[in-house]
């Protein structure tokens, strides 16, 4: 399979033009004519991920978060991004990022399914995909009200994370839930406008947490990685079905930090 053939499937899943304007997605390193036999999947293009991709003989690395966000005037071994780019090129590995285009087309829906939201809708609409609104996050009801404590415990289990941070009264009963994998602090006003009882997301700071509670919105912070690691499992299943002739390898589920 050529890269161009693989890209058709990636674009069908999450078109690059649906990424948010500040983002950087698509083929960021490599040759469009390259033959693809082995795909390596990861959330981030870390040094460890690239070393493992090299060890596995990968032809292309596909991640959720882009390695290159801003313009670069130098690509040197003295810079960690430059070092990673050179390692990819040196080992003949192309690099493709699916970030906010994946978020608006797949990630929110995938997270909503995991927590079993009923009749979910897009939280912040940013465009249209296949004739339906698409955008950041999802909001919907759960079948039976649960306490904030119970909801937090369920999120911890469903997303396989070691801990969550909770803002709000643990005994409060929740019925309407918003979920935004990744960094969701900018979605707090949308969750309040949607009359959500709780927002499940990551990267919530102290002031955002207590201010949300003051406005009637509880927060469950399961971490940026904690909610988005579902990217690799989903993409493994998708690519295995789309490109059966290609070997698909994914990085392990390893939290990028420790809590002591």
Query: Stretch 25-46: mean pLDDT, rounded?
Result: 96
The predicted-structure confidence for 166-217, as pLDDT tens digits, reads as follows 999 999 999 999 999 999 999 999 999 999 999 999 999 999 999 999 999 9
The predicted-structure confidence for 102-132, as pLDDT tens digits, reads as follows 999 999 999 999 999 999 999 999 999 999 9
Residues 6+ apart with CB under 8 A from 214: none
The DSSP element (H or E) to which 212 belongs, if any, is helix 206-214
What pLDDT does residue 192 have?
98
d(CA 42, CA 21): 23
pLDDT category, 71, cuts 50, 70, 90? confident
Largest CA distance in the chain: 57
Query: Stretch 54-66: mean pLDDT, rounded?
Result: 98
What pLDDT does residue 253 have?
86
Q: How is residue 22 annotated by DSSP? A: T
Closest CA to 182 of 222, 139, 219: 222
pLDDT higher than threshold 90 for residue 260: no
- In contact, 243 and 6? CB cutoff 8 Å: yes
Which 3 state secondary structure label does DSSP give 117? coil
The predicted-structure confidence for 86-109, as pLDDT tens digits, reads as follows 999 999 999 999 999 999 999 999
pTM flag (> 0.85): yes
Q: What single string gives the DSSP state of each residue in 233-246?
A: HHHHHHHHHH-TTS
pLDDT higher than threshold 90 for residue 254: no
Which 3 state secondary structure label does DSSP give 136? strand
Positive/negative CA dihedral, 123, 128, 129, 133:
positive
Hey, what are 234's tokens? 């989903």
d(CA 238, CA 108): 16
Query: Stretch 122-145: mean pLDDT, rounded?
Result: 97
Positive/negative CA dihedral, 121, 235, 14, 257:
positive
């Amino acid at each position: 399979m050529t890269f161009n053939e693989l890209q058709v499937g990636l674009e069908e899943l999450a078109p690059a033009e649906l990424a948010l304007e500040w983002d950087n997605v698509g083929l960021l390193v490599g040759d469009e004519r390259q033959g693809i036999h082995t795909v390596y999947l990861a959330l981030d293009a870390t040094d460890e991920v690239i070393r493992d991709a090299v060890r596995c003989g990968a032809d292309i690395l596909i991640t959720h978060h882009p390695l290159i966000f801003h313009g670069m005037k130098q690509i040197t071994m003295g810079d960690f991004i430059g070092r990673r780019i050179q390692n990819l090129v040196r080992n003949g590995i192309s690099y493709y990022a699916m970030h906010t285009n994946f978020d608006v087309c797949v990630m929110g829906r995938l997270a909503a399914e995991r927590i079993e939201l009923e009749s979910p809708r897009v939280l912040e609409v940013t465009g249209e995909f296949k004739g339906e609104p698409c955008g950041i996050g999802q909001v919907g009801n759960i079948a039976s009200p649960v306490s904030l404590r119970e909801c937090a415990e369920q999120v911890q289990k469903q997303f396989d994370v070691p801990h969550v941070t909770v803002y709000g009264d643990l005994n409060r009963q929740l019925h309407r839930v918003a979920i935004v994998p990744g960094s969701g602090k900018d979605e707090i006003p949308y969750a309040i406008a949607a009359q959500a009882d709780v927002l499940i997301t990551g990267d919530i700071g102290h002031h955002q947490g207590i201010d949300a509670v003051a406005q009637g919105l509880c927060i469950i912070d399961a971490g940026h990685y904690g909610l988005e690691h579902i990217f690799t499992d989903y993409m493994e299943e998708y690519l295995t079905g789309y490109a059966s002739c290609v070997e698909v390898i994914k990085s392990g589920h390893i939290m990028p930090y420790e809590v002591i």
